[in-house]
């Protein structure tokens, strides 16, 4: 009977000690998981260029015709380059969108005032290149320009797939313009 009493006491102790409580390690893992579900990743955004950029170029052609080109970045439009999450940090890289304003004039009259952007070209060209393209730079091709026929070179880039297109705009003395693709690198 004494053995039976000891056996019942041992079985009681074993049953009472197995109350299915969590270990400290399990409790910590569950708390960390619950915390991670409640928190959102901290976003770190990088822009190229970091702030507003404006480049104005004035060119005089044969002492009578002036060309003013203003290339500038837009602060409210950008192209998503990369997006990576590492733990609770989310790193995002953007390329700012650039546009250009072009004025061609003489001392007595305005020949042309126009705006150049990738959106304008994408409206006439359905190439997927334009989905993430931006103007890179516009400049006067002084070697080919005359007072009667001004040549502007305009480059567009797609920073996601690292491709570019080079266009040449011809402007006659009446302000008529034509745009031709010179080079496309894919």
Average pLDDT over residues 10-38: 74
3-state SS, residue 173: coil
pLDDT band for position 168 (50/70/90)? very high
pLDDT at 84 over 70: yes
Peptide bond into 49 cis (omega under 30): yes
Domain 51-77+96-185 has CATH 3.90.1150.10: no
- Cα dihedral 174, 142, 103, 53, rounded to 10, equals 160
CB 160 within 8 A of CB 133: no
Q: Tell me which of 16 and 129 has the higher pLDDT.
A: 129
Domain ranges of the chain: 51-77+96-185
Residue 167 CA to residue 155 CA, distance in Å, equals 6
The pTM assigned to this predicted structure is 0.74
Residue 59 CA to residue 104 CA, distance in Å, equals 10
Average pLDDT over residues 99-127: 90
Q: Tell me which of 24 and 140 has the higher pLDDT.
A: 140
Instruction: Give the pLDDT score at 114.
Output: 94
């Amino acid at each position: 009977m004494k053995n039976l009493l000891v056996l019942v006491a041992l079985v009681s102790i074993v049953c009472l000690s197995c109350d299915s409580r969590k270990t400290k390690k399990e409790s910590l893992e569950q708390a960390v998981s619950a915390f991670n579900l409640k928190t959102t990743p901290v976003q770190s955004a990088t822009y190229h260029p970091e702030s507003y950029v404006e480049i104005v170029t004035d060119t005089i052609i044969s002492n009578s015709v002036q060309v003013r080109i203003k290339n500038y970045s837009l602060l409210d439009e950008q192209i998503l380059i990369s997006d990576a999450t590492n733990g609770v940090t989310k790193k995002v890289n953007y390329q700012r969108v650039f546009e250009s304003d072009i004025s061609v004039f003489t001392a007595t009259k305005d020949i042309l005032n126009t705006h150049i952007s990738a959106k304008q070209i994408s409206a006439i060209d359905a190439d997927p290149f334009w989905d993430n393209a931006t103007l890179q730079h516009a400049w006067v091709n002084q070697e080919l320009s005359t007072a009667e026929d001004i040549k502007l070179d305009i480059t567009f880039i797609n920073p996601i797939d690292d491709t570019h297109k080079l266009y040449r705009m011809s402007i006659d003395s009446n302000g008529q313009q034509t745009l031709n693709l010179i080079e496309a690198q894919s």
